[in-house]
Amino acid sequence: MNILEFTGLVGLGSLLAGFLGALTGLGGGVVIVPMLTLLFGVNIRYAIGASLVSVIATSSGAAAAYVREGYSNVRIGMFLETATTVGAIAGAAIAMRVSGNAIAIVFGLVLLYSAYLSSRHRDEHDPNQQSSKLAKKLKLNGTLPTPEGKLPYNVTGVPAGYSLMFGAGVLSGLLGIGSGAVKVLAMDQAMKIPFKVSTTTSNFMIGVTAAASAGLYLNRGYIAPGIAMPVMLGVLAGSMIGAKLLVKAKVKALRYLFAAVIVVLGIEMIFSGAKGRL
């Protein structure tokens, strides 16, 4: 495979990854890292570096549209970002000291658990849900745009969500996935935020989280322009397309799409890591 073919195929795969990332709040990194390592034989650290760049591109491409449409809860995103940024720096520091195969196994386990939690059914909007005192004090409650008008929702479980966000930041720095999977699940399951608000707020947050850890990868020379550029451009284009379709997408379909893709990738990453292929 010559450099032109490599660039074209990586760009096409990244386009699909960005599309999926925008629809589910994953940020595309959960597809980019396995794609580069398993299909193209890229060293996992360089794959993580390119993935972090793509995560920033996804956030930039999709977040503006979501904020404009009123789906993202900016106040929640800014509050939770204080936890994920610190976690991302810690995760990137840890990643420099462990083997690529160990990172791949952790990556796979995280994806499988995320798929399990994502497939668990919860009502999209519970009108009887009470807001916690802390959520009221921080003014985290918001509204969700619907065809019938704006639908108010209440937020709860703020301490649990904040703690999970630190863990999401660690995983972002360690695995280069933007930790969108954990962010979405923390807001959806712990804080009881509507799923579309969770995915769009995740897209708003992941760029800052990725930027915090990307600096360490850049300093160590793990961001290669020849890999990062087609990944970034493909993901950016895909995220813009996905952002336009999210408004009309059904939440149930998003959950199953989320779960199915990351189950396959999770199993493959665990297998490859255990065999020492990465």
Q: Per-residue pLDDT tens for 200-220?
A: 888 788 777 788 888 888 888
Q: How far is it, in rounded angstroms, from Cα 156 to Cα 135?
A: 6
* pLDDT single digits (tens) 139-151: 888 888 877 788 8
Q: Residue-wise pLDDT tens for the chain (278 aa)?
A: 788 999 999 999 999 888 876 676 566 677 788 889 888 989 888 998 898 888 777 676 667 777 888 888 889 989 999 998 888 889 888 888 888 788 888 888 877 876 776 666 554 555 567 778 888 888 888 888 877 788 888 898 899 999 989 988 888 788 777 666 678 778 887 888 887 788 788 878 877 778 888 888 888 898 999 999 999 899 888 877 877 776 666 656 766 776 787 788 788 888 888 887 66
223 Cβ neighbours under 8 A, 6+ residues apart: 46, 49, 50, 52, 53, 214, 217
> Would you mind telling me the total number of residues written for the chain in this entry?
278
- C-alpha–C-alpha distance, residues 225 and 114, integer Å: 31
Q: Are 104 and 270 contacting, i.e. CB atoms less than 8 angstroms apart?
A: yes
For residue 64, count CB atoms less than 10 angstroms from its CB and return exposed for 0-12, middle for 13-18, buried for 19 or more: middle
Task: Select from 46, 58, 57 the least CA-distant residue to 95.
Answer: 46
d(CA 39, CA 269): 12
The beta strand positions in 62-197, using DSSP E, are: 142-146, 149-153
CB of 186 closer than 8 Å to CB of 61: no
SS3 149: strand
How far, in Å, CA of 233 to CA of 218, rounded? 18
137 burial level (CB within 10 Å; 0-12, 13-18, 19+): exposed
Contact 231, 58 (CB under 8 A): no
- Residues in contact with 80: Cβ distance below 8 Å, sequence separation at least 6, in sequence order: 161, 162, 165, 183, 186, 187, 205
Q: How many Å apart are CA 251 and CA 235, to the nearest integer?
A: 22
Q: Which amino acid is at 180?
A: G
Decide: 193 and 80 in contact? Cβ < 8 Å. Answer: no
- Domains of the chain, by residue range, sit at 3-274
